Amino acid sequence: MSLAQLLDSRLLMVTGKGGTGKTTFASAMGILGAAKGKRVVVCEVDTQRPALPAIFETEVHFDPVEVHPGLSVCNITWNEALHAYLRRSLPMKRLVRMVLENQLIARLLDITPGSREVVILSRVGNLLEEYDLVVVDMPASGHAFSLLDILSTLLTLFRSGPVRQRALELQELIHDLRTRLVFLAIPEEMVINETIETWTRMEGAELIGGSPYIFLNRATLPSLTEEERALIGRLSKVKLDPLRREFVQAGVWEDRLEQATEGAQARLAEAFHMDPVLVPPAGGGGNPRAVVGRVALHLGRMVGVARRELPWT
Amino acid sequence: MDMNRWLDGQRLVVCVGSGGVGKTTTAASIGVWAAARGRKVMVLTIDPAKRLANSLGLDAIGGEGARIDLSPVAPAEGGSLHAMMLDSRGTFDAIIGRVAPTEELRDRVLSNTVYRYMADSFASSQDYMATEKLYDLVSSGQYDLVVLDTPPVKNALDFLESPGRVVSFFDERVYGWFVDTYDQESVKGGFFGRKLMASTSAMVWKLLSYVLGEEFLGELASFFKDFQALYEGFRERHDAVLSMLRAPGTAFVSVCAPNEASIEIARYFQGELSARALPSHGVIVNQVHRCEGEVHDAAALLGDTLDGVAPGVDPSTRAAILARLGMAHRRLAKLAQGEQELTGAVRSVLTPEQFYREVPRLEDEVHELGSLYEVGKHLFEGP
């Protein structure tokens, strides 16, 4: 499946180990989707440290805020999501208030298996009714697994009632072929290990219908020739003063980065049955908005969205 | 701060941090250093133990533990180093078996649907078992110092508090209300049941059974009832573990690498430790890139050296490799500078009583005693 087809999904769940650039990537995909004329919403999930406000330079709330024609952002916060969920499942407003204000119920919901997950997924389901494309910046990989896995647990625990009904609907949604799980990794051994481990578990548990998509972020594209590598190797064996030594070390460092990318690429390709899409470091630092702009531009080239179509750069 | 004096004062050092930051190496180095100073040290790891074994130059270490040959670092009198994997294979079922007063009660708990869910995901039995073993080992008094390498997860502190999680799960007020209401509701055909039930409780109950379903509430209530008898056992253990973690001589050390994600997690740990009143003693940043040179002209500096090792190299190759090295050096300098800015975020939240140490990225993988000792030098000696 091509990257352009990926944008034709209805739901993109972006996951990966912390620090792999999930939020940046999710935002860039949202921008590209909107550039292709879709109504898109990018969501964070009840995070303690929201990153979307800095990227889109706006306050982000539970209710989506449109930041550009066709592109909205939101934060699926637990309390509001619970509110929305109860409003859907309870017949009277007074009852909703009662549940929300009752300490005992709050405590019980805390410990009821899966209550958090089903409420959050349920909100994602609601957003799909209003948008063409929903991009979810998922929690880090381990938690993403439990977020998706919880539905089968719920179905064994609840043999009747509205929770079961909703869980069934959500399971259908997640197994829909237009729902895609997108993994982000960076070329570091621990990150690659965890990414592969998470996907293997998900694949084994048949948690999701469509095949996943994998991106290797901060990839150092191979450029050193064999001869150059050999020369660096020879230089590193010479005894040098600290200043000169630094140059040789810099060469060794870069060689290692290239090799790490190559190694990660091969391992991911085997586990995901597709070549990972390489994304070079956005570089140049700068504010989060600028970084997202550069990533969108790079991915845009792959999906045929030109710079002038991106309001962002 | 005199790092050696600090180390001599500790009985339990807990290394926390995210994965891939060299936490295992740090724990092993602290162990090697303390043992070389003449103390009897145990380094503990949870899983995978292979990394610790490798860094100590062993093939494997098991639940039995292994004594490490310290002769390469010539330890002071009385120093010895042991490594062990905290075997956490035991299941939560086994714990229930131990705390349950009767067999009948044990079987009832074990077959409850709610319990099955809990045992699988919530109570994280591995964490619980490991915490119990850590407690046993520290309180046995067999070692002068225990160094713990925690699992590479963000919730490493949850791991240490896993007995507490079980305790707070069974907040007495909640399950008291729950069990009472359930009992009353289940006899609500009777005159008294109806009368005694406060109207709010009845309403709340109705709502719950609407949202969650009668069957589930029934399972939950019977589980709560049965678990009451087990509660005390969990609570005692929790209190003992907490007081061990807060005792003088226990130190938490955050280990991180100079990248944004890791630094952020280290800051998060600092906050969590102080929120839980756990003794946070300092931060160690591993894998720091150093680049001091301010000129990036490789041709001028290295041209002659290159001609020395590769005489007669093609002039265009010569120019290309020198240009590459110059560019790489420029990038490395920028990276090193960026790292210093990042670590500034950690340094700024430390108090004067806490230490801050950096270990440069070593050119080779650290996997034998000698190189662990070298890491120790960066930690305990030098500026």
Residue A102 sits in a domain whose CATH number is 3.40.50.300
- What fold characterizes domain B1-106+124-160+248-294+339-383? Rossmann fold (3.40.50)
The number of beta carbons lying within 10 Å of the beta carbon of residue B363 is 10
Identify any residues that bridge with B256 across adjacent strands, giving them in sequence order. B285
Same domain, A154 and A171: yes
Residues whose CB falls within 8 Å of the CB of residue B279, separated by 6 or more in sequence, listed in order: B246, B250, B251, B252, B273
Q: Which of A49, A153, A234 sits opposite B117 (nearest CB)?
A: A153
More confident: A43 or B182: A43
> Which pLDDT score, from 0 to 100, does residue B117 have?
67
Q: Is A66 inside any structural domain?
A: yes
Residues of chain B with pLDDT under 70: 47-52, 57, 59, 62-63, 87-92, 117-129, 152-175, 185-200, 363-367
The model's pLDDT over A81-140, given as tens digits with 9 standing for 90+, comes to: 988 888 887 777 777 777 777 766 766 676 666 777 888 889 999 999 999 999 999 877
Predicted model pTM: 0.80
More confident: A113 or A274: A274
Q: Is A39 inside any structural domain?
A: yes
Residue A264 has pLDDT above 80, yes or no: yes
> Which pLDDT score, from 0 to 100, does residue B195 have?
45
> Which pLDDT score, from 0 to 100, does residue B193 have?
43
Contact A247 B169 (CB under 8 A): no
Q: Is A207 inside any structural domain?
A: yes
Same domain, A76 and A24: yes
Q: Is A273 inside any structural domain?
A: no
> Which pLDDT score, from 0 to 100, does residue A271 have?
95
Contact B306 A232 (CB under 8 A): no
Domain boundaries, chain B: 1-106+124-160+248-294+339-383, 161-244, 298-332
Q: Is the peptide bond before B48 cis (omega within 30 degrees of 0)?
A: yes
Count of helix runs (H) and strand runs (E) in chain B: 17, 8
Same domain, A44 and A113: yes
> Which pLDDT score, from 0 to 100, does residue B170 have?
62
Number of domains in chain A: 2
ipTM of this complex prediction, to 2 decimal places = 0.74
Same domain, A110 and A249: no
> Which pLDDT score, from 0 to 100, does residue B51 have?
64
Q: What is the dihedral of CA A298, A303, A307, A308, to 10 degrees?
A: -170
> Which pLDDT score, from 0 to 100, does residue B353 have?
93
Same domain, A228 and A214: no
Alpha-carbon distance B102 to nearest alpha carbon in chain A (angstroms): 26
What is the mean predicted confidence (pLDDT) over A70-80? Answer: 92
Q: Is A305 inside any structural domain?
A: yes
Alpha-carbon distance A118 to nearest alpha carbon in chain B (angstroms): 12
Same domain, A184 and A249: no
Same domain, A245 and A161: no
Same domain, A59 and A202: yes
Say which DSSP state A273 is in.
T
**Confidence grade of residue A27 (pLDDT, cut at 50, 70, 90):** very high
Same domain, A140 and A250: no
Residue A194 lies in domain: 3-218+279-309
> Which pLDDT score, from 0 to 100, does residue B87 have?
64
Q: Is A300 inside any structural domain?
A: yes
More confident: A292 or B189: A292
> Which pLDDT score, from 0 to 100, does residue B4 have?
96
Same domain, A100 and A246: no
Contact A161 B153 (CB under 8 A): no
Contact A248 B325 (CB under 8 A): yes
What is the mean predicted confidence (pLDDT) over A184-213? Answer: 87
C-beta of residue B183 within 8 angstroms of C-beta of residue B218? no
Say which DSSP state A48 is in.
S
